[in-house]
Amino acid sequence: MLLPSHPRQPINPWAPAPTAAPSTMGRLRLWLAVLAGLSGVTAQEGRGTSGGPGLAPGCRAGSGEPWGVGTWGGGQPRGSHPDPHPWGHRGGSAPSDAPSHLWEPSALCQWGWGMLEHQRHGGDISQGGRLGGHHVPSVTPPPDLYRKVFVFRTDPSDAYVVLRAKPEQPLLNFTVCLRSYTDLTRPHSLFSYATKAQDNEILLFKPKPTEYRFYVGGKFVTFRVPEGRGDWEHVCASWESATGIAEFWLNGKPWPRKGLQKDYVVGADAVITLGQEQDAFGGGFDVYNSFTGELADVHLWDAGLSPDKMRAAYQSLRLPPALLAWRSLSYETKGDVVVKPRLREALGR
């Protein structure tokens, strides 16, 4: 009879069972949540600058919000964290296993499949593969545009940016916000949302330095503003169908509300452009209504925002999940448009 080469350790029946490290447990829960959703969820149209990945199971197309429960890393709810920047607005460090912009709920849903495949094979998340007999699409994470801008360099210009977002259903309420920096004095388009039925379904247009026009369904209201001081201007425009109330905010301050298109419904099948006004679905541009300068911090919500959230948008603080969110924006540049770091800080930042 052979004796063991090492003495056995006495068994302690009261000792706790060994457990995996928190990060491992978090990933295990994420695996289980995704696998549970495989039987009933079909990947939807993807995001990313190249058309890229499908949605992870449990994510609703368009919103990027999950309906299921999963965890990321150390066990935080995947895609439903109450603070999309849990390490703080500035200065904190992002979780070590995810780029900072992926804590935005819309981006988390896109990232889940690729990260699972990466953990499964230890390979490049952009390569895709198979998981549980299901195809895992390749993943191109949206670029993080924090402190970056679109620069439209020439005047006049045929350049523009196409934004990829499709609401799940027609809009009865919405809010659009953006920042612009320009020395133009001629008319120019900032944000254009066109459907096949109506080219000016949603339009933010500046006909002159002291005036903004806000269009819904082809009709508009005018908001007169002080002439700019050669600095960034942050604008938000909000509309609700039930009352026909249109709100306009400039640099964190509200203007008197006006009536616009009561009971109208904004179509969901749209082309969204920055820098050009669409006079036809996806085209019909007039270069003398084009934008020249810098644009940043573009957001679109399918709801009205409270006054506190309007001010938070101006100050670039925490914001609710959006159809279009600047830090996880899916876009394609057309013509002479480049992405560059911001040179001059906007007021409120």
131/152 same-domain check = no
Of 333, 276, 344, nearest to 143 by C-alpha is 333
Q: Is the pLDDT of residue 155 over 50?
A: yes
Q: Is the pLDDT of residue 291 over 70?
A: yes
Count how many domains the chain has: 2
45/173 same-domain check = no
Q: Is the pLDDT of residue 203 over 60?
A: yes
Q: Is the pLDDT of residue 296 over 60?
A: yes
Q: What is the pLDDT of residue 69?
A: 33
248/180 same-domain check = yes
299 found inside a domain? yes
Find the range with the poorest average confidence among 23-32, 106-115, 231-240.
106-115
- The CA distance from 327 to 324, in Å, is 9
4 found inside a domain? no
Q: Count of H helices and E strands in the chain? A: 3, 19
Domain boundary among 82, 111, 136: 136
Total-model pTM: 0.63
Q: Is the pLDDT of residue 4 over 90?
A: no
13 found inside a domain? no
pLDDT band per the 50, 70, 90 thresholds, residue 108: very low
Average pLDDT, the chain: 74
320/176 same-domain check = yes
Report pLDDT digits (tens) over 7-44. 445 445 444 444 444 454 455 454 445 444 444 433 33
Question: 32: which residues sit within 8 A by CB, 6+ positions away?
Answer: none
The DSSP call for residue 26 is: H
297 found inside a domain? yes
Q: Is the pLDDT of residue 140 over 90?
A: no
349 found inside a domain? no
Q: What is the pLDDT of residue 349?
A: 55
268/219 same-domain check = yes
Q: Is 29 exposed, middle or buried (0-12, 13-18, 19+ CB in 10 A)?
A: middle
Structural domain harbouring 130: 22-136
Contact criterion met (CB below 8 Å) for 292 and 184: yes
More confident call, 104 vs 171: 171
158/236 same-domain check = yes
Percent of the chain with pLDDT over 90: 55
97/156 same-domain check = no
Q: What is the pLDDT of residue 89?
A: 37
CA separation, residue 201 to residues 4, 5, 189, 269 (Å): 81, 81, 13, 11
8 found inside a domain? no
Find the range with the poorest average confidence among 22-26, 61-65, 300-304, 321-325.
61-65
Contact criterion met (CB below 8 Å) for 191 and 163: no
